[in-house]
């Protein structure tokens, strides 16, 4: 039987036809609803993923540029479809249920990948000129990232580079002050995504005279304590990891200087002062020229890994999605991932 429609309107992403039958009856306009309903389901899933990552309705609303009631409605719609609650409300934020954990695991990164592909496709036909803000380790931005920016700069993207250490990179990305970040720390916050862009050897280096004293010492640990140490920070994670791997005991090490730009440490080494551990890319040319020398590790090198990091919601902007993909390609070509 064909039921005549006297009105058509939208209802939560579905096109509904109103009939003249009493009591009022609603029927789906099947010819259009299949596509639109599928699209709306994707919107709900995106909302779910954002709430799941942030553990917050209000935070997801800000990221998605939606109202809190709209976010709540999307979640409620999914809960009806699944037949199980997805979140438990708490005094601060929401707590995912087991059903939410299962759904998030099933979705994985598929939505992020689809959105990134769509944004990249839009970027090919859109005007992507504008500002791009990137935060990361100053030495890496200068020595590795800057040369990879040429294609973006040629497309009239105005790049703003800002220096920051690992914790600051994470914080600034989460607060959406920056579009992309570079960190030597792997991503641990589930709200962020990252991809490895460089693995590099860590090398114990010094000026030739200092290097000779260290090489000829009977006990390398004692010799290291007798020379000034230059370090990235007081935590000395790069140094301690190298010493631990090579089973070198040097408990009295206190940095003579700390600085969060490894190029500054390299400059002091070139003046014949102290020793430090540097990524190979930062001392390669200095080793080739003889300005610096490596003290070979007794057991083996350690590595440092750099990651390009982003907030998934940022990839909805064609400029950011295009920049991320371009940098991944450029850095893979220039570094070969490992030096």
27-50 pLDDT, tens digit per residue, is 333 333 433 344 447 778 888 888
CATH of domain 131-339: 3.40.190.290
Give the model's pLDDT for residue 126: 58
What integer best gives the mean pLDDT of the chain? Answer: 84
Closest of 134, 139, 182 to residue 160, by C-alpha: 134
Distance CA(112)–CA(320), nearest Å, equals 13
SS3 label, residue 267 = helix
Residue 119: pLDDT band with limits 50, 70, 90: low
73-115: per-residue pLDDT in tens? Answer: 888 888 888 888 999 988 888 999 998 888 888 877 777 776 6
User: What is the greatest pairwise CA distance in the chain?
Assistant: 99
Q: How many CB atoms lie within 10 A of CB 93?
A: 14
Helix %, strand %, coil % of the chain (to 5): 50, 20, 30
Q: How many CA atoms lie less than 13 Å away from 187 in the CB half-sphere? A: 20
Which pLDDT does position 38 carry in this prediction? 47
Regarding the domain delimited by 5-107, which CATH topology (the fold level of the hierarchy) does it fall under? Arc Repressor Mutant, subunit A (1.10.10)
Average pLDDT, integer, range 229-235:
93
Mean pLDDT lowest among 80-84, 183-187, 271-275, 286-290: 80-84
State the pLDDT at residue 50: 86
Rounded Cα–Cα distance for residues 221 and 252 (Å): 10
| Beta bridge mates, 28 | 16
The three-class DSSP label of residue 285 is helix
pLDDT category of residue 122 using cuts at 50, 70 and 90 = low
- Contact indicator for 320, 130 with CB cutoff of 8 Å: no
Strand 275-279, strand 193-206: pairing: antiparallel
pLDDT band with cut points at 50, 70 and 90 for residue 255: very high
Of the candidates 205, 174, 133, the residue with the CA atom closest to the CA atom of residue 311: 174
Identify the band that residue 26 occupies on the pLDDT scale cut at 50, 70 and 90.
very low
Q: How much is the average pLDDT of 51-72?
A: 86
Region 127-138: what's the mean pLDDT? 91
CA nearest neighbour of 184 among 139, 231, 234: 139
Q: If we measure between CA atoms, which residue out of 321, 63, 62, 309 comes closest to residue 169? A: 309
How many Cα atoms sit within 13 Å of 47 on the Cβ side? 26
Distance CA 181, CA 186 (A): 12
In whole angstroms, give the CA distance from residue 237 to residue 234: 9
Rounded CA separation 201/72 (Å): 48
Helix (H) or strand (E) holding 152: helix 150-154
Domain range list for the chain: 5-107, 131-339
The rounded distance, in Å, linking the Cα atoms of 121 and 29 is 31
Distance CA 64, CA 93 (A): 16
Best CA proximity match to 164, nearest among 143, 144, 136 = 136
Q: End-to-end alpha-carbon separation of the chain, Å?
A: 72
Res. 332: pLDDT tops 90: no
Buried b (16+ CB within 10 A) or exposed e, 230-254: bbbeeebebbeebbeebebebeeee
Task: Decide if pLDDT at 125 tops 60.
Answer: no
CA 283 from chain centre, in angstroms, equals: 26
- The Cα–Cα gap between 186 and 189 comes to 9
**Which comes out higher in pLDDT, residue 3 or 195?**
195
DSSP secondary structure, 18-35, as one string: EES-SS--EEE-HHHHHH
């Amino acid at each position: 039987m064909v039921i005549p429609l006297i009105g058509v309107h939208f209802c939560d992403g579905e096109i509904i036809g109103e009939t003249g039958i009493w009591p009022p009856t609603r029927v789906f306009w099947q010819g259009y609803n299949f596509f639109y309903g599928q699209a709306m389901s994707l919107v709900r899933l995106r909302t779910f993923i954002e709430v799941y990552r942030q553990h917050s309705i209000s935070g997801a609303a800000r990221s998605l540029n939606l109202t809190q009631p709209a976010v709540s409605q999307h979640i409620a719609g999914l809960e009806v479809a699944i037949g199980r609650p997805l979140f438990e409300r708490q005094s601060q934020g929401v707590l995912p249920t087991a059903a939410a954990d299962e759904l998030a695991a099933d979705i994985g990164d598929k939505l992020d990948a689809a959105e990134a592909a769509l944004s990249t496709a839009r970027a090919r036909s859109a005007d992507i000129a504008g500002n791009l803000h990137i935060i990361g380790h100053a030495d890496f931005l200068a020595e590795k990232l800057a040369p990879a920016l040429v294609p973006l700069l040629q497309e009239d993207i105005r790049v703003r580079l800002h220096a920051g250490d690992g914790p600051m990179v994470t914080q600034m990305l989460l607060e959406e002050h920056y579009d992309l970040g570079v960190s030597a720390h792997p991503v641990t916050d589930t709200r962020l995504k990252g991809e490895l862009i460089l693995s590099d050897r860590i090398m114990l280096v010094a000026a030739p005279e200092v290097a000779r004293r260290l090489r000829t010492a009977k006990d390398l640990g004692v010799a290291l304590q007798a020379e000034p140490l230059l370090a990235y920070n007081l935590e000395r994670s790069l140094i301690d990891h190298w010493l631990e791997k090579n089973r070198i005991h040097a408990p009295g090490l206190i940095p003579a200087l700390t600085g969060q730009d490894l190029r500054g440490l390299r400059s002091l080494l070139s003046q014949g002062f102290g020793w430090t551990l540097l990524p190979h890319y930062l001392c390669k040319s200095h080793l080739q020229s003889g300005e610096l020398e490596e003290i070979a590790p007794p057991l083996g090198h350690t590595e440092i890994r750099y990651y390009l990091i982003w907030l998934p919601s940022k990839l909805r902007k064609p400029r950011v999605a295009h920049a991320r993909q371009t940098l991944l390609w450029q850095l893979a070509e220039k570094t070969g991932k490992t030096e």
